[in-house]
Structure 1
Amino acid sequence: MSTKALSSLLQKASIDDHEEVLRLCDDALAKSRSDLQAQHVKVVALLKLDRYEDCLRVFEEGGDNLKRNAALEFGYALYKTGHPSEAIDVVSRLVNDRGARHVEAQASYRAEEFRRTAELYGELARDSTSVANEEHDLRINTWATDAQLQWKGHPALVRHTRPTRDDLEAFETVYNAACLSIAKGEFDQAWMLLKRAKELCRTSEDLTTEDRDAELLPIAVQQLYVLICQGKFEEVEPILEEISIKEIPELSTRKVGQNNVTIARGTAANPYALYKALHEIPDSTDNDRLFDYQNTIITGNLHAVDLLVHKYDGIIRSTSKALSRAPYPSTEASTSLLSVYNVAAHAKGGTGSSTLKAILSAIDKRPKDLGLVLTAVQFYVSLGNTTSAIVTLEKSLHLLEESISAQEKEIRFNPGLLSVLITLYKRDGRRTRIKAELAKAAAFWKEQATQPTSLLRAAGASLLHSSLESDSAQAAELFKTLYQNTPDDLFAVAGYVASHAAIDYSLVEAKAKYLPPVEDLISDIDITSLETAGVSNSSCTAAVTATAITGARKRTANNKERTRKRTRKSRLPKDYDPSKTADPERWLPLRDRSTYRPRGRKGKQRAAERTQGGVVNERSEESTPSGAQQQKPQGAGASSKKKKKGKR
């Protein structure tokens, strides 16, 4: 049979045995190594047999023609061998290819580009032409993507809130919904969903015994994690019996399971046993590696146990090497933790002034290392020295602000760092600094492509309470941006109405109707229970009292004649006569009144001397100035007695 005829037969044939397909392809390629059709069929057969490394070798032998002709298969092979970035680059060039979009979404998920992953699955779900047979897979993957978005700190992008009835019918979607609840910190909800997922997995008829056992292990590992987070160590024993670390096929899941099992069994009493247990599992690689947030936690636990067994030099070497390759400065948690453990190793477990000296010395060498700076801030706060904590953080932020690098300026106004600084300002009572810092951050982020919504909301609310016209104008601009981006957000609508009402109420009059009335907002408040709980009646009616006072002041200002204030009778003298006019000089001292007449010769002389424009007494001018003291002569013959006059 000719090579061309064999290729045509392979194209039309339907063979379920992929090994047989692979044998026929090898026979065809033995006669013509450049047969593109046979090469294409061969890579598909290898993918079906999960022989991804062999598939990549065929692509390298086939050259660019095979990679172009089988771009989808090439991208999938790259993804499965742990090269997600290269896979995205290949399949993203395929236009109007639904399979390519699926591969790109999976590769983006593995590359931890979860925003792009959510966009791709959203596009696939909106395309109703082929969604019927993919609805189940899309539901599973979108739940997983939302869980990762929550873990990465993007809760605004999470689309799912609670699982629907359809979501509760498959253990995969229930498990992913439980993972989302764990990421949100809703551990009671997560526990209920994990129990549901375990029941569905055990009763599933689509799984073999081996597959069922493999699916139950990750569920048990997550249940153990939930119990540890809740501090329910007395309930972990039944879950520990279900977990066999050696039977977990994925290295990444096995490493997480070993970490949770070790912590649950409480081997911290013997740090060397803890060290051995946490280092038993080798590091996972390629497509089975841990996600960044998982790796950060595991690495932190390993460094912590290294400190317990006094491996200070090893920690210093490993963290210094990792920090030399990491970006500087950086807001990544993994990089910041490396700095924390590095300085902890230098301090060798100390907690006093020597530790603070080691931290400050490290900051002098790396003043923009946020891990070190935040460690010093926490140390100062634990000592009750909030002022030094503020000064330390402000110095580093000032260096970042003066930098010409756009990346460093973005780090300067990072929402996490700003929240730490504002918390310190609140602790120290610096209200004015809070408003100024939020205004500066809002002005910076307004010019950026991506804007942190939570920070803009906080800045707008703070500036809205300012009495300065410039702050009010900036608040109006911020809330206008928030309203345009999220018109369904009631907070943005309320801020937009409040900030523009004083400028032009006609612009927001229609939008104000969408806000809930005040009566509805306070309808569930029981004033009686508040008073019983200790809230005074004056506090409950403060707003009414303030309104009454404001109204009274307005009425007084509008009156043409001010009413005379009634004088209390108790302050009037006993001989007071309302028909007589009071002496206008009654508040002056007696000697300063015009009716004062001194008595005696000396009194009249003193009065004459004090009179302005009167006759000047030369004798008084020659006398000793007022306030001076005459000195008596000292020494022999200085006697105050007068000598008797002798005869002349």
Structure 2
Amino acid sequence: MTEKSAKDKTISAQYAELNKFSQNEDFERALKAANKILGVAPQEYLAFHCKIVCLIQLGRFDEAIGHINKNPEYLQTLIFEKSYCYYRLNKHQEALETIAKCESEPDLRTKELQAQIFYRLEQYREAHVIYQNIIKNTDDDYEEERLTNLYATMVFLEENERADLDELRETPYELCYNKACMLIASENYLEAEKKLKQCEKLCRDKLEEDDITEEEVDIELALIRIQLAYVYQKQQRIKEAQVLYTSTLKLKLQDVATQAVACNNIVVINKDQNLFDSKKKMKIALNNTLVHKLPASQRKYIALNNAILNYYINQADQCEKACKVLESQWPEFAHQVMILRSLNLIKADKISEAIKLLLDNQNTHQESRDIYVDLCMAQFYLMKGDKMEACRVLENLGDDGAFRPGIVGALTTLYLALGYERAALAVFEKTVQFYKKTKVKAADLSSFWRQAADFHIRNGHPQVAANSLEELLSVNNDDNKITAQLTLACAQFDKERALKLAKQLPTIKELSQDIDLENIQLLTAVNLKKSPAVGKTDSSLPNTPRMDEKKKKKHHHRKGKLPKNYDASAQPDPERWLPKYERAGYRRKRDRRLAKDVIKGSQGTSSGQSEQFDFSSKKVEEIGSDSVTEPSPKNRQQKKGVSQQKKKNKRR
């Protein structure tokens, strides 16, 4: 056998092995077979192409790019493979540059890759144009996938650049989901809610056909449910949104981007509550791999929420680091960064430094001054106690802010609190002149005109008040109350006009046409009867009793009866209020039976002491004079016995 025939036999055998391994998706052994072919025949292009494909399938993108660069003669035929490797390495600019080196018209797969790269680079218009051209010029089984990508690009376009939503397809569920996202971008949350629920049903029906478990169905539905929770959150249905976010995060989600969005939105719901939970959620939302999985519009808000969370949990250093990241990567958040830094200073009781920080920021950004920053500055001045400086800041907001009804109300309140009525009056006059020049509809400022009129009438400026009432009357021609107020105001400086306006007011007869006087009288009488403190009633009202007819009953107190032998000049017995058994001369019956000289005292008493215990020989006067002593401590108990005896006597 010749050397050439042996070489050919080896190549054919290895190609057979290569084909077998590639069909079995055993790319590691397929790569070895390709290397054997290239070892025998280095110029074998098919084996080289198979080697590059095996490296891509194994995720060895850098190695694949290195082999292509070593063989520049194969570049034009491997444009797609090289650009795809750059795309997977997130080197999108290098991928576009590789496609641009293509000398001929790029093939279909290269165009689709180019559109996907534009989408990752957030160049949505360019991606939209490419997908439109591909769909027009192709007719294969991948139309639904291309339509899904086309709808995804339309979400980020302006509303006037999108196609008519009614003409867009809604099946399969991927198309319905992207259509719901377009409605969310247009802030049409009610319709978006309906589409998302329809999308969830379509997805569930499709998954149930594949006979998978309920847990796997929930994982597939996670993205739709999180989007639905976002719609609830925008509609201020916070509890429903929180339930959906929490239940979805309990699943074993593989998509890091979906987890990050749900965690960030829960942090927004928590605000300054549940800070420990928010801190855990924010760690998930700040995953480094999200740089290439979420668009910049979402990542910048996650970074802003992280800075705000650090402020809430009193981590000033971490908040400052987050502010620096925001300032460097997203300059559009410059005002928010300044406010966060000033709030950190306020927490440290450095109000003057916070005000200086905001002042410096406003001076350096004169062209893009933010009213919100000025309002924060005014609030800081009020916290400092400097009301005049707060008024100065509010007056210098410019035409866009100084004449807003809320700002005008705050200014007048502050000036009146300081006692500057003239300054408050000047604020109202300037505001009235401004709205007359700009010709703003009075219907939008009806409450302002009413407040202005009341303020000017109270401060003795009827002419200015009349101007405000005229603005109200131009919208509400049939409002008699406004006409009456305008009549009273004009009566102070223009009597002729006041008379004309008074003629437009309805007469008393016209006002009382629909009033039933009899019913009013009856109702008044009923209310008077029910009233606890009724004065004099009107005699004209029927069935109303007069107070003079009802004579008050006089209660006569009877005099107490005196004894028959009562002597008013005699001194009463000092023991008359004591019970009988407590009086000095009281003796029990058994004691009376004893002899005068026989008395049994307590143990140890002598017979000589018996006389002092014998009260039979003493007169009543002597007994009464000797027995006045201090009350006994047992008197409370004894009196209780007397009261009980009295009760018994009463029952008899």
How many angstroms apart in 2 are the aligned matches of 1:375 and 1:148? 28
Aligned to 1:190: 192
The 5 A counterparts of 1:254-293 are 254-264=259-269, 266=270, 268-285=272-289, 288-293=292-297
Deviation at 1:186, TM superposition (A): 1.1
How many angstroms apart in 2 are the aligned matches of 1:351 and 1:231? 36
How many angstroms apart in 2 are the aligned matches of 1:121 and 1:427? 55
1:131-183: CA deviations, max 9, x gaps? Answer: 3433212221111111122xxxx33322342364xx22211011111111111
How many angstroms apart in 2 are the aligned matches of 1:57 and 1:88? 19
Q: Does 1:299 align with 2:307?
A: no
Aligned to 1:124: 134
The answer to whether the 8 A contact 2:38-2:47 is kept is no
Q: Does 1:5 align with 2:15?
A: no
Aligned to 1:177: 179
Aligned AA for 2:128? A
How many angstroms apart in 1 are the aligned matches of 2:350 and 2:187? 31
Aligned AA for 1:209? I
Q: 1:102 aligns with which of 112, 120, 139?
A: 112
1:182-237: CA deviations, max 9, x gaps? Answer: 11111111111111111111111576738744431111111111111111123346
How many angstroms apart in 2 are the aligned matches of 1:250 and 1:85? 25
Structure 1 residues 244 and 315, CA gap change in structure 2 (3 angstroms): closer
Q: 1:144 aligns with which of 144, 147, 152?
A: 152
Structure 1 residues 433 and 191, CA gap change in structure 2 (3 angstroms): closer
1:400-436: CA deviations, max 9, x gaps? Answer: xxxxxxxxxxxxxxxxxxxxxxxxx9999399999xx
1:70-97: CA deviations, max 9, x gaps? Answer: 1112212222232222222222444242
Structure 1 residues 160 and 78, CA gap change in structure 2 (3 angstroms): farther
Aligned AA for 2:46? Q
TM-score by structure 2 length?
Answer: 0.52
Q: 2:373 aligns with which of 354, 376, 383?
A: 376
Aligned to 2:227: 222
Aligned to 1:402: none
How many angstroms apart in 2 are the aligned matches of 1:250 and 1:66? 37
Aligned AA for 2:188? E
The answer to whether the 8 A contact 1:112-1:291 is kept is yes
Larger radius of gyration: 2
Give aligned-pair identity as a percent.
16
Aligned AA for 1:341? L
Q: Does 1:38 align with 2:47?
A: yes
Q: 2:141 aligns with which of 133, 143, 148?
A: 133
The answer to whether the 8 A contact 1:7-1:38 is kept is no
Please give the secondary structure, in 2, of the residue aligned with 1:269.
coil
The answer to whether the 8 A contact 1:143-1:173 is kept is yes
Deviation at 1:248, TM superposition (A): 1.9
Aligned to 1:437: none
Aligned to 1:28: 34
How many angstroms apart in 1 are the aligned matches of 2:378 and 2:242? 39
Structure 1 residues 5 and 315, CA gap change in structure 2 (3 angstroms): same
The answer to whether the 8 A contact 1:380-1:389 is kept is no
How many angstroms apart in 2 are the aligned matches of 1:307 and 1:146? 37
Q: 1:73 aligns with which of 81, 85, 110?
A: 81
The answer to whether the 8 A contact 1:82-1:287 is kept is no
Structure 1 residues 378 and 237, CA gap change in structure 2 (3 angstroms): closer
How many angstroms apart in 1 are the aligned matches of 2:301 and 2:317? 21
Structure 1 residues 16 and 175, CA gap change in structure 2 (3 angstroms): farther
How many angstroms apart in 2 are the aligned matches of 1:378 and 1:163? 46
Q: 1:19 aligns with which of 3, 18, 25?
A: 25
Q: Does 1:209 align with 2:212?
A: yes
How many angstroms apart in 1 are the aligned matches of 2:75 and 2:66? 8
How many angstroms apart in 1 are the aligned matches of 2:90 and 2:124? 17
Deviation at 1:65, TM superposition (A): 4.3
Aligned to 1:523: none
Q: Could you say what the CA RMSD is over the residues aligned between the two structures, in angstroms? A: 4.2
When structure 1 is superposed on structure 2, of 82-91 and 37-46 the one drifting more is 37-46
Aligned to 2:312: 308
Aligned to 2:344: 345
The 5 A counterparts of 1:279-428 are 279-285=283-289, 288-320=292-324, 323=327, 325-326=328-329, 333-334=332-333, 337-348=336-347, 355-364=354-363, 366-367=364-365, 370=368, 373=370, 375-379=372-376, 385=393, 387-390=395-398
Q: 2:124 aligns with which of 95, 108, 114?
A: 114
The answer to whether the 8 A contact 1:258-1:277 is kept is yes
Please give the secondary structure, in 1, of the residue aligned with 2:294.
coil
Aligned AA for 2:176? V
How many angstroms apart in 1 are the aligned matches of 2:347 and 2:432? 31
How many angstroms apart in 2 are the aligned matches of 1:320 and 1:66? 47
The 5 A counterparts of 1:227-246 are 227-236=232-241, 239-240=244-245, 242-244=247-249
Structure 1 residues 162 and 83, CA gap change in structure 2 (3 angstroms): farther
Deviation at 1:353, TM superposition (A): 7.0
Please give the secondary structure, in 2, of the residue aligned with 1:389.
coil
1:509-554: CA deviations, max 9, x gaps? Answer: xxxxxxxxxxxxxxxxxxxxxxxx976499xxxxxxxxxxxxxxxx
How many angstroms apart in 2 are the aligned matches of 1:354 and 1:220? 46
Aligned AA for 1:197? C
> Which structure is higher in RCO with an 8 Å CA cutoff and minimum separation 6?
1
Deviation at 1:343, TM superposition (A): 4.3
The answer to whether the 8 A contact 1:83-1:286 is kept is no
Structure 1 residues 116 and 386, CA gap change in structure 2 (3 angstroms): farther
Structure 1 residues 147 and 339, CA gap change in structure 2 (3 angstroms): farther
How many angstroms apart in 2 are the aligned matches of 1:173 and 1:255? 23
Residue ranges of structure 1 left out of the alignment (5+ in a row): 394-424, 435-532, 539-648
How many angstroms apart in 2 are the aligned matches of 1:71 and 1:223? 41
The 5 A counterparts of 1:444-459 are none
Structure 1 residues 126 and 313, CA gap change in structure 2 (3 angstroms): same
1:381-416: CA deviations, max 9, x gaps? Answer: 9877555223999xxxxxxxxxxxxxxxxxxxxxxx
Structure 1 residues 132 and 536, CA gap change in structure 2 (3 angstroms): farther
Deviation at 1:5, TM superposition (A): 3.5
The 5 A counterparts of 1:493-508 are none
1:593-640: CA deviations, max 9, x gaps? Answer: xxxxxxxxxxxxxxxxxxxxxxxxxxxxxxxxxxxxxxxxxxxxxxxx
Aligned to 2:616: none
How many angstroms apart in 2 are the aligned matches of 1:189 and 1:313? 44
Structure 1 residues 200 and 348, CA gap change in structure 2 (3 angstroms): same
Aligned AA for 1:60? G
1:468-499: CA deviations, max 9, x gaps? Answer: xxxxxxxxxxxxxxxxxxxxxxxxxxxxxxxx
Structure 1 residues 131 and 432, CA gap change in structure 2 (3 angstroms): farther
Structure 1 residues 199 and 93, CA gap change in structure 2 (3 angstroms): farther
The answer to whether the 8 A contact 1:377-1:390 is kept is no
When structure 1 is superposed on structure 2, of 7-16 and 227-236 the one drifting more is 7-16
Residue ranges of structure 2 left out of the alignment (5+ in a row): 1-5, 380-389, 402-429, 440-473, 480-652
How many angstroms apart in 1 are the aligned matches of 2:397 and 2:48? 65
Deviation at 1:352, TM superposition (A): 7.2
The 5 A counterparts of 1:604-619 are none
The answer to whether the 8 A contact 2:31-2:55 is kept is no
Please give the secondary structure, in 1, of the residue aligned with 2:142.
helix
TM-score by structure 1 length?
Answer: 0.52
Aligned to 1:59: 65
How many angstroms apart in 2 are the aligned matches of 1:178 and 1:235? 19
